[in-house]
Amino acid sequence: MAQAMIGRNFVKEWKLKELSGVAKTKLKNRSFERGRKMFAAGGCFACHRFANEGGMTGPDLTGAGGRYSPHDLLEQIIDPSKEINEQFVPVIVKMKNGDLITGVVVNMNGDRVTVNTDMFDPNQRVNVNRPQVESIEPSKVSPMPPGLLNLMREDEVMDLLAYILSGGDRNHSAFKK
Ligand code: HEC
């Protein structure tokens, strides 16, 4: 998260209610370019694919605008742990020797469970040998960090939101002047 946010300052701790209210009237005349810039500055590309760009440790967000209302989209971003996408359930693996491994299961093969322990880096993987596992529990904490919007101004959040809702289409109505 640190590297994604370099050069940006804390703006405020945005609350869902406030931004959702703003989105009711301000999702027009938005800037596609700045929305895209915010998607990068917010670190979203590190974990999310969008219009064929970006990482793949998190869900592809190209179609998110079709699945979520502006309010629900904001909620997913502000409070990632409230509803965790079932394909990306984080786990806590307790080994018999007492070691704890937290991350997202990316592969299971026979006795081997592969866990990605750092969503910013798809290569950070640990192979766990099942016979040495004490327990595997789902975690209630999303692998997506909260508070990413807190480094953006209101206008920037609205551009980001319009960008996600557009699915990457510059001609989307939210960008009409
Ligand atoms: C460190 C990786 C990471 C970063 C950075 C990140 N996300 Fe996520 N995001 C995830 C993961 C993993 C999930 C799925 C788990 C969940 O639902 O909480 C997710 C879920 C979501 C969802 C719900 C999508 C769905 O279909 O379930 C939205 C919307 C979203 N992220 C938006 C964003 C936006 C916008 C940013 C940038 C401001 C961002 N994310 C930054 C990892 C990340």
Q: Whose CA is nearest to atom 8 of ligand 1?
A: 144
Mean pLDDT to the nearest integer, 128-137? 96
Q: What is the DSSP string of 73-101?
A: HHHHHH-TTTS--GGG-EEEEEETTS-EE
What is the pLDDT, as a whole number, of residue 4? 57
Length of the chain: 177
Taking only the tens place, the pLDDT of each residue in 91-101 is 999 999 999 99
Q: Confidence class of residue 9 from pLDDT cuts 50, 70 and 90?
A: confident
Residue 1 has pLDDT above 50, yes or no: no
Q: Give the chain's domains with CATH numbers.
A: 3-80+144-175 (1.10.760), 86-138 (2.30.30.100)
Q: How far is the CA of 11 from the centre of ligand 1 (A)?
A: 21
pLDDT digits (tens, 9 = 90+) for 62-91: 999 999 999 999 999 999 999 999 999 899
Q: Which protein residues touch ligand 1 with a CB less than 6 Å away?
A: 42-44, 46-48, 57-59, 61, 64, 73, 76-77, 80, 84-85, 88, 119-120, 142-145, 148
Please name the helix (run of DSSP H) or strand (run of DSSP E) that holds residue 156, with its range, or none. Answer: helix 154-166
pLDDT, one tens digit per residue, over 18-58 is 999 999 999 999 999 999 999 999 999 999 999 999 999 99
Confidence (pLDDT) at 5: 64
Pocket test for ligand 1, best of 69, 81, 144 (most atoms within 8 A of CB): 144
